[in-house]
Amino acid sequence: MTQIIYDLEFNTAYKIDRITRRLLKGDANPECPQEIIEIGAVKLNGEGEILDTFQMMVKPTLYHKMHPKIRQKTKITMEQLETGVPFTEAVEAFRHWIAADEPVMGSWGRDDHQEFLRNCKFHGLETQWFQKHVDIQKLCMKYFASPKGHQVGLKKAVEHFGIHLNNSFHKALHDAIYTAHVYRALKDTDDTNHLSVE
């Protein structure tokens, strides 16, 4: 069984109010309101150890200006994205790197899974290979016995398990690595029966 932990960064539309200068929601394409701009992933062995890594910038098709909050959070510039590859090529490279027909894909929360499917649908790509998914944030919430509706952040989980903070957050590969370390820490607890594919 091939296990992949991945993370995505997105960009979206925005506009600035000419009078108040406030940042407003833009006219995003309803079929793809969150455009994937970076893919980061790690491949795990059966023990949860990282075997290989993947990182790729994705050249935008829809949104050609970086949302100010996203730029501030990710430090990604439009100049960097323009040197990336088109989404269809990025997915092809991602699948080639995974090298498995039915990998188990894990991410922090369900948003990345849902948005990947939506981006693929927008670009006319099939996603049968992307169906097995593990929500590692949900597993963490069970571990912490979090109240319903109370989400646990990745940084809190990383700090709780004493994982060394040697990289910044909100970089796709960095977050994938942190998520993989949290996943392995969860596997080492008594709650291993909770590590199920949804």
Arithmetic mean of pLDDT, 17-34? 94
H-type alpha helices, the chain = 68-74, 78-82, 87-98, 111-122, 136-144, 154-160, 172-187
Across the beta sheet with 104-107, what order do the strands follow? 50-57, 35-44, 3-11, 104-107, 133-135
* Nearest Cα to Cα of residue 143 among 184, 198, 197: 184
Q: What pLDDT is recorded for position 167? A: 83
pLDDT exceeds cutoff 50 at 46: yes
pLDDT confidence of residue 96: 98
Whether 190 has a pLDDT exceeding 70, the answer reads no
**CA neighbor of 171 nearest in space, from 9, 6, 5:** 9
Residue with tokens 């670009």: 123
Gap between the Cα atoms of 144 and 182, Å rounded: 13
pLDDT at 189 over 90: no
pLDDT digit string (tens) for 139-173?
A: 999 998 877 767 889 999 999 999 988 888 999 99
Q: Where does residue 161 rank: exposed (0-12), middle (13-18), buried (19+ CB within 10 A)?
A: middle
- Residue range 77-125, pLDDT digits in tens: 999 999 999 999 999 999 999 999 999 999 999 999 999 999 999 999 9
Q: Are 98 and 43 in contact (CB under 8 A)?
A: yes
Cα distance between residue 102 and residue 31, in whole Å: 26
3-state DSSP call for residue 64? Answer: coil
Structure tokens at 83: 């040197």
Question: Would you say how long the chain is, in residues?
Answer: 198
CA dihedral 115→72→30→135, nearest 10 degrees, is 20
| Phi, psi of 106, rounded to the nearest 5 degrees | -120, 140
pLDDT score at 196: 55
- When mean pLDDT is compared across 4-8, 129-133, 191-195, the lowest value belongs to 191-195
pLDDT, position 192: 46
Helix (H, G, I), strand (E, B) or coil at 4: strand
Q: For residues 18 and 22, what is the distance between their CA atoms, to the nearest angstrom?
A: 8
Q: Is the pLDDT of residue 179 over 70?
A: yes
Q: What is the pLDDT of residue 187?
A: 87
Output the pTM of the full model. 0.92
Domain 3-190 has CATH 3.30.420.10: yes
What's the whole-number average pLDDT of the chain?
92
